[in-house]
């Protein structure tokens, strides 16, 4: 399935149906009079978040959504039928933005969320509703209220608990493959990751979601490399895991480049808790690992965890640190329930 995280669509709710002009004329009925019914309401445009979707690719092929108008009223005070609603199903994490992308009109963060985005127009009044003591044969009627229409942008921000950041070839794809069921592409060249990847980590009776995004290089905020457009997918993360390649010429500079790009992007990414890991230590000796860790620790001001995603060294240590920030939640258990003493559910 192709990944698409932005799409522009046109939405229009249905107009209300026209009211009827009709009069009661029945044999053996002494008194007649107006009996035109009201028009039906137009269809609504409704957005609904559904589980199981992680792309907006469907909106590349269908960009126009128009709800039908309400039916007109008829005699015998019969109200016209309402137009059918149009339900637009989007992945959880989707935002609906104004055409200029300056305003968030709706934000879906949980499955089943539903928003009536554009309400259909009300139906027009039939001539029966205009009858008064001085106007007993009204011939006026309402034509129905128009619907609303607009162009909007859909922007998907994947929901994850932890996000992986780093320069190209920092080993992010190898790491997510090692700790989750993801099957991210791994190769010996830059930008092997061209779209975000999600994976579920199962660690010490806990589950949490990790997001891997394409690597950042200097000038990504200005469009260098793949740019920073995918950083939106980690805006909702509780913690960032910053991987630094131990084989870089200057690990401190590699760390600063990525941090500068996060700050340039904004979105509160620079203020998120971060776990710093020196990756690919399986290619180095202990003395060099200690020297590079100290250099990176001085640059970041945080504890540095030496790991090897390929060999599995230090991976559990990193996951423990991520869980300390993420904490217990839905689908996760607390520290008191971990290990061999965890109480298993029993129907008895």
CA distance 241 to 199: 14
281 marked ligand binding residue:
yes
310 marked ligand binding residue:
yes
212 marked ligand binding residue:
yes
Q: What do you get for the CA distance between the two ends of the chain, in Å?
A: 44
213 marked ligand binding residue:
yes
For 88, the 3-state DSSP assignment is: strand
CA distance 228 to 262: 9
279 marked ligand binding residue:
yes
Q: Are 2 and 139 a contacting pair, CB within 8 Å?
A: no
- Residue in the structure block whose two tokens are 């989007």: 90
Token duo for residue 347: 């129907």
249 marked ligand binding residue:
no
168 marked ligand binding residue:
yes
Identify which of 233, 299, 222 has the alpha carbon closest to the alpha carbon of residue 261: 222
> Strand order of the sheet with strand 86-91?
86-91, 45-50, 114-118
CA distance 249 to 254: 9
Q: Are 117 and 78 a contacting pair, CB within 8 Å?
A: no
215 marked ligand binding residue:
yes
CA distance 315 to 243: 12
Identify which of 13, 31, 22 has the alpha carbon closest to the alpha carbon of residue 79: 22
172 marked ligand binding residue:
yes
Token duo for residue 329: 């939640």
For 275, the 3-state DSSP assignment is: strand
Residue 284 CA, distance from chain mean position: 40
169 marked ligand binding residue:
yes
254 marked ligand binding residue:
no
- Residue in the structure block whose two tokens are 């592409």: 185
49 marked ligand binding residue:
no
- Can you name the residues that pair with 34 across neighbouring β-strands? 23
- Residue in the structure block whose two tokens are 């790991």: 307
173 marked ligand binding residue:
yes
204 marked ligand binding residue:
no
* Residues with Cβ within 8 Å of residue 315, at least 6 apart in sequence: 175, 178, 179, 307, 308, 309
Residue list, annotated binding site = 166-173, 193, 212-215, 279-282, 308-310
Task: Provide the annotated binding site for GTP.
Answer: 166-173, 212-215, 279-282, 308-310
Annotated binding site for Mg(2+): 173, 193
């Amino acid at each position: 399935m192709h990944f698409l995280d932005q799409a522009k669509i046109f939405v229009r709710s249905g107009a209300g149906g026209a009211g009827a002009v009709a009069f009661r004329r029945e044999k053996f009925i002494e008194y007649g009079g107006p009996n035109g019914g009201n028009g039906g309401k137009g269809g609504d445009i409704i957005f609904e978040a559904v589980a199981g979707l992680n792309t907006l690719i469907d909106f590349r092929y269908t960009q126009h959504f128009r709800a039908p108008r309400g039916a007109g009223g008829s005699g015998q005070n019969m109200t016209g039928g309402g137009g059918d609603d149009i339900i637009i199903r989007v992945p959880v994490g989707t935002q609906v933005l104004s055409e200029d992308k300056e305003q968030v009109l709706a934000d879906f963060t949980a499955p089943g969320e539903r928003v009536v985005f554009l309400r259909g127009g009300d139906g027009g009044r039939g001539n029966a509703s205009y009858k008064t003591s001085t106007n007993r044969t009204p011939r006026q009627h309402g034509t129905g209220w128009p619907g609303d229409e607009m162009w909007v942008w859909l922007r998907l921000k994947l929901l994850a608990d932890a996000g992986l950041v780093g320069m190209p070839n920092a080993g992010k794809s190898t790491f997510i493959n090692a700790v989750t069921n993801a099957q991210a592409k791994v190769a010996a060249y830059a930008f092997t990751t061209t779209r975000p990847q999600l994976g579920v980590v199962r660690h010490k009776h806990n589950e949490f979601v990790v997001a891997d995004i394409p690597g950042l290089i200097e000038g990504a905020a200005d469009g260098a490399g793949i740019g920073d457009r995918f950083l939106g997918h980690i805006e909702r993360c509780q913690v960032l895991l910053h991987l630094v390649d131990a084989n870089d010429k200057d690990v401190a500079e590699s760390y600063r480049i990525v941090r500068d790009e996060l700050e340039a992007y904004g979105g509160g990414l620079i203020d998120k808790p971060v776990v710093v890991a020196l990756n690919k230590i399986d290619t180095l000796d202990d003395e060099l690992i200690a020297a590079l860790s100290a250099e990176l620790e001085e640059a970041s001001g945080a504890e540095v965890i030496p790991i090897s995603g390929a060999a599995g060294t230090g991976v559990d240590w990193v996951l423990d640190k991520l869980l300390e920030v993420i904490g217990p939640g839905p689908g996760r258990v607390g520290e008191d329930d971990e290990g061999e003493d965890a109480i298993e559910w029993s129907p008895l």
